[in-house]
Amino acid sequence: MNTEPESALDLRSPAVLDDPHPVYNRLREEAPVHWNASLGGWILTRHADVRRALRDERLSVEKMGRFEERRSGGEGHADIALLARTLADWMVFNDPPRHRELRRAMQNAFLARDIPVLEANVRAVVEELLEPLGAEGRLDLVADFAHPLPAIVIAELFGMPRAEREQLKSWSDALGRFVLGDVENTAHAAKYGAAARAAQAMAARFHALVEEHRRAPRDDFTQLLLRDGAHLSDDEIVHTLMFVLFAGHETTTNLIASAVLWLVRTPGLMARLRAEPERVADAVEELLRMDGPVQMVFRLAREDVEYGGTAIRAGERVHLVLNAANRDPSVFERPDELDIERGRSRHVSFGPGAHFCLGAPLARLEARVALQGLLARFDRLELEPAAAPLAWRPELVIHGLKALPLRYSGARAP
């Protein structure tokens, strides 16, 4: 592996972004703790190492300060400073003890008792999005369904009018291009400027939302955040809302789109799930393993650590490749096969550890209800044969389709 030309191991190259598993498999087998020059950091691909690293408090998530320092004085610095201040309040970029303080405010947000209410709301949104479709036709599952769904669900959770969802979506997208490192977008200054303007506008809107909730309390996520986050400043509450909008958006969109792609490519499974909709929850779990929307997370070593006999020095970056760990044959038999009978899955798609995804119940629910809704609605769903080849988004962290053109027929009334 050390003699490999670097380009073959460039995880940003279009070929690898399209299908990263051949590279992940080789890394896992031949160099499970691998220094990758193109990323300037370590890559961990084994399930055991990734699980251990997710729980390892010597690996820090506090990356924002360093990012700002590296860029200080350069082009777009004021924008970067503003973004770094905002992101510094995101729980996902905080180590203990502050992490606990920020996370505590959201601990009750998605408790099991709220799930039936949420399910009814999500089902209504799914039906509303499918409503305008005729008996047969074409749709881009990403733009027409998987993208708007979580945006509407989150707008409603926050207690915002649906009419604002487009705005929320475009703010979240602009922020995403900054946070997620769009590998095609090299115009840094423009990217930072757009993200900074989105962050400012979003913060102003969410401060107003907090005031609205203080004046007239309601029964929603924002109210719960204000109650359980009474120990936080208004800025921290607002930045937490921004984070939740962002965290719950692209992830869910891409899970739904990848899941539908698997179903249209596996017609036997699609037929089975249509007949047994109660098994869709198991399928979602397996699809999270096969094609999780968060490809990797990364950490900074705060001290020297050792993984797989390799020394990682303080200050070095460590990428934990969740989607490689999810296909580790030492944990999953026939890892490249989609098998909804696996039972309780040990996938790491929600990052089990101190930062375990707080939105996991909502994400599972949205994906299940979305798939159940699509399968109940259409007798036939297939890839649009005349469409251009499928393309994946040029991002390292998020694994998602740019578009998913489908043809549908045999629509039933909702």
Count of residues that bind ligand HEM according to CB under 6 A: 24
Residue 44, interface with ligand HEM (CB under 6 A)? no
Alpha helices in 231-300 (DSSP H): 234-247, 250-265, 267-275, 280-291
Q: Are 293 and 399 in contact (CB under 8 A)?
A: yes
**Which of 199/320 has CB closer to ligand HEM?**
320
41-44 and 296-301: which strand pairing?
unpaired
| Nearer Cβ to ligand HEM (83/357) | 357
326 touches ligand HEM (CB under 6 A): no
Specify the length of the chain in residues: 414
Among residues 355, 368, 393, 399, the one that binds ligand HEM under rule CB under 6 A: 355
Regarding 294 and contact with ligand HEM (CB under 6 A), the answer is yes
357/111 Cα distance (integer angstroms): 13
Nearest residue to 381 (alpha-carbon basis) of 271, 258, 272, 281: 271
Which residues, listed in sequence order, are joined to residue 401 by a DSSP beta bridge?
A: 392
405 binds ligand HEM (CB under 6 A): no
Hey, how many other C-beta atoms are within 10 angstroms of the C-beta on 365? 23
Q: Which span (111-119, 161-169, 347-355, 400-408) binds ligand HEM, by CB under 6 A?
A: 347-355
Cα gap 392→412, rounded to integer Å = 31
Which amino acid belongs to residue 16? V
Site mask for ligand HEM (CB under 6 A), range 65-94, x = bound? --------------------------xx--
Give the Cα-Cα-Cα angle 98, 101, 106 (nearest 5 degrees): 130
- 32, 248, 373, 400: residue in contact with ligand HEM (rule CB under 6 A): 248
Q: With binding defined as CB under 6 A, does residue 292 bind ligand HEM?
A: yes
What backbone phi and psi angles, to 5 degrees, belong to 218? -135, 180
Structure tokens at 221: 């996520």
Give the one residue of 244, 318, 374, 375 binding ligand HEM; rule: CB under 6 A: 244
CA pair distance 60, 62, nearest whole angstrom: 5
Q: Does 263 bind ligand HEM (CB under 6 A)?
A: no
Name the minimum Å distance from CB 91 to ligand HEM: 4
With contacts defined by CB under 6 A, name the span among 18-26, 63-71, 174-182, 290-298 that binds ligand HEM: 290-298
Tell me: does residue 251 bind ligand HEM (CB under 6 A). yes
Where residue 408 falls (left for φ over 0; alpha for ψ -120 to 50; beta otherwise) is beta
- Residue 356: how many other CB atoms lie within 10 Å: 13
Say whether residue 357 binds ligand HEM (CB under 6 A).
yes
Among 20, 293, 335, 400, binds ligand HEM (CB under 6 A): 293
Smallest distance from ligand HEM to CB 57, Å: 12
401 binds ligand HEM (CB under 6 A): no
Interface ranges with ligand HEM (CB under 6 A):
61, 91-92, 103, 106, 244, 247-248, 251-252, 255, 292-294, 297, 349-351, 355, 357-359, 362-363
